[in-house]
Amino acid sequence: MLDTPEVSLVEYGVSVQNGFVPEVPPLRRLGDSYYSPWEEIVQNLPALIKAGTVRQAVDDLPVLSTENLQQEPEWRRAYVVLAYLTHAYIWGGEKPRDILPPSIARPFIEISNHLELPPCATYAALNLWNFKVPSEDTDLTDPDNLSVVTSFTGTKDEEWFFVLSVAIEVRGAQLIQLILDAIHGASVDDSQRVIGYLEQLNYGFVELGELLERMYEKCTPAVFYHQLRPYLAGSKNMSSAGLPNGVFYDLGEGQGDWHQYSGGSNAQSSLIQAFDIFLGVEHSATGEQKSHGKVQTPVRTGFMQGMRNYMPGPHRRFLEMLTHTSNVRNYAMSHKADSPLRDAYNAAVMSLGGFRDRHVRMVTRYIIMAARIPPPNQTSQVNLATTTSTLMDNSHDKVAEGVRGTGGTDLIPFLKQTRDTTKATASYVD
């Protein structure tokens, strides 16, 4: 392993062992009894949602101060709690609620500012900071060893959906050091070392893809689609689901603002974006729905770039550092098309493309196909699931254009373009 002293992973909140997942398991509950009103609701969240009383419970909350939050794990736990309460409040009724009360909005914005995150359910809230283990020496790369702390539905399907991402993150942690070593190897023109690292990355991407496919073991498409997915939706590009203006974060005393945020999305995984940056994959897809060949709303940056704003600040800065230092694609392109280095680089790119192939197939099964499965109980609710199903019912085509992802994208076209862009990064000719 080459020494890369110029990169301090600790500075970026990255663990050698766990990657972007904290080395110490997240708090299961805020210890200060002052925050018991939050914890009591969120611990009973599935039952409150099912009974249709979650909004009343939130409305009855006092406006709590954030002054009692001290250590980072406490700020993170508070962020997870308020993220779940926010999305349960917005989507936990017959129609979405577009005004978030001060009891949630005020502390959530303060906590989000501290963590450099938006006040919504991000990948960090749902995955990175929301798991528990039976013991400190638990193997986090096996999702069977993990469970969630907080849940919308209380189902095993939801738990499996989230803990599998945690396992993938930790399994991928070993690849972060390989990336840094490969960059250093390219900077000192050590092609043999770079080839070795690329070959290990190739194998690592295949392993991650195989782990991803374990989703089918314990997460049922119908449960994911009808019960969980509506609560993952954000407030951006959600007009069809009942939020044309987004959500008003009411701070009280006549203060507050309208906000539109993407919902929880795996595009907010710093690990996957780190792979793209390292390999020189540049995504331009915006995820916007097109009309007559034109994007409806002008977008200055691609969706993947925008998703970095939904990552914890240190993780976002790690990707920025990687963007400035990554040199392996240029180094590979400086060698002949049939050279071992180019072959190793192209193989790694195609393996990452293969990972995205698996993801596209999974999304098709869990969203596009699941949209045609009737809900377990007839409902008059308006949310991402019901509007997508209506769209699919009214469509005479098998093409799923117009189906929104939780992040607000035009889902399938966006994912396919992202996959194709990845594979196109490989170069077999000079």
- The pLDDT tens digits for 68-88 are 999 999 999 999 999 999 999
Average pLDDT (182-191) is: 98
Torsion of CA 249, 69, 24, 213, to 10 degrees: -10
Average pLDDT (182-198) is: 98
- Ordered by start, the domain boundaries in the chain are 9-424
Measured CA angle at 419 (ends 307, 283), to 5 deg: 45
Give the CATH number of domain 9-424; options: 3.90.1140.10, 3.40.50.300, 3.50.50.60, 1.20.58.480.
1.20.58.480
pLDDT at 54 over 70: yes
Dihedral over Cα of 411, 413, 419, 425: its sign: negative
Average pLDDT (125-148) is: 96
- What percent of the chain has pLDDT above 70? 86
Give the predicted TM-score (pTM) of the model. 0.90
Q: Give the confidence band of 373 by pLDDT, cuts at 50, 70, 90.
A: confident
Return d(Cα 21, Cα 377) in angstroms, integer: 37
Q: Please state which of the ranges 13-27, 312-326, 328-342, 412-426 shows the lowest mean pLDDT.
A: 412-426
| 3-class DSSP string for 294-348 | EECCCCCCCHHHHHHHHCCHHHHHHHHHHHHHCCHHHHHHCCCCCCHHHHHHHHH
Return d(Cα 224, Cα 103) in angstroms, integer: 29
Return d(Cα 139, Cα 285) in angstroms, integer: 36
For the record, the structure tokens of 51 come out as 């009974």
Q: What is the pLDDT of residue 290?
A: 39
What are the helix and strand counts (H, E) for the chain?
A: 18, 7
Read off the pLDDT of residues 394-410 as tens digits, 9 standing for 90 and up: 554 444 555 656 555 56
Return d(Cα 342, Cα 120) in angstroms, integer: 42
**Is 283 labelled a binding residue?**
no
With beta carbons less than 8 A apart as the criterion, state whether 402 and 420 touch.
no
Place of tokens 């303060």: 110
A 10 A CB-CB count for 183 gives: 21
Beta strand 290-291 with 255-259: parallel, antiparallel or unpaired?
unpaired
DSSP for 139-205 reads -TT-GGG-EES--SS--HHHHHHHHHHHHHHHHHHHHHHHHHHHHHHHHTT-HHHHHHHHHHHHHHH
Q: What is the mean pLDDT of the chain?
A: 89
Q: Give the confidence band of 227 by pLDDT, cuts at 50, 70, 90.
A: very high
Q: What is the pLDDT of residue 1?
A: 39
